[in-house]
Amino acid sequence: MITPIFKGTCKKGKPVLADSEKWFLHLCTLDGKECEFIARKKSKRKTNKENKYFRGIVVPLIAQHCGYTNDKAFGVLQQKFFLYEDEKGVKYIKSTKLDVWNTIYWEGKMSEIRQWASEFLHIYIPKPNETDYY
């Protein structure tokens, strides 16, 4: 089941929904069921431009330098920078899809990759605002 997200603001400790009618209609589908309600500050998701920067600048520069295909370089970056371990010790690669990362966290990852490329590969990867790729 797809779970909708309802946006709004918080005023004096109470939610003020942007579309309270849709909220009410959705609640009607949950009548009599145990539910979870989550309130969190809205975060800015990674944008298509950020994805284009990663796939169009970062990955190809590393691929070219290492003699890899773009897919191989992408896989190496996934293993090096997006590999995580859960509490049971199971390793997994966190998706690089748009909906998983917020902009601040994503830029932190890009900064790590640029630093690594500079120190270990001795190549310069421009920052997003230093290129006209997109």
Sketch the domain layout of the chain as residue ranges: 1-42, 48-130
Q: Is the pLDDT of residue 100 over 60?
A: no
pLDDT of residue 95: 62
Cα 98 to Cα 15, 46, 115: the distances in Å are: 27, 5, 23
Determine the Cα angle at 38 with ends 34 and 39, to 5°.
145
Average confidence (pLDDT) over 51-75: 94
C-alpha–C-alpha distance, residues 72 and 82, integer Å: 15
pTM of the predicted model over 0.75 = no
C-alpha–C-alpha distance, residues 2 and 76, integer Å: 33
Gyration radius (Cα) of the chain, Å: 20
- Mean of all residue pLDDT scores within the chain: 84
Average confidence (pLDDT) over 46-69: 89
pLDDT of residue 122: 96
- Of 7-16, 36-45, 49-58, 120-129, which gets the smallest average pLDDT? 36-45
Render pLDDT for 82-99 as a digit per residue (tens, 0 to 9): 887 777 877 767 665 545
Cα 15 to Cα 12, 77, 119, 122: the distances in Å are: 8, 41, 48, 51
Percent of the chain with pLDDT over 70: 86
Q: Is the pLDDT of residue 43 over 70?
A: no
User: H helices then E strands: how many in the chain?
Assistant: 5, 4
Nearest to 95 by CA among 108, 106, 107: 106
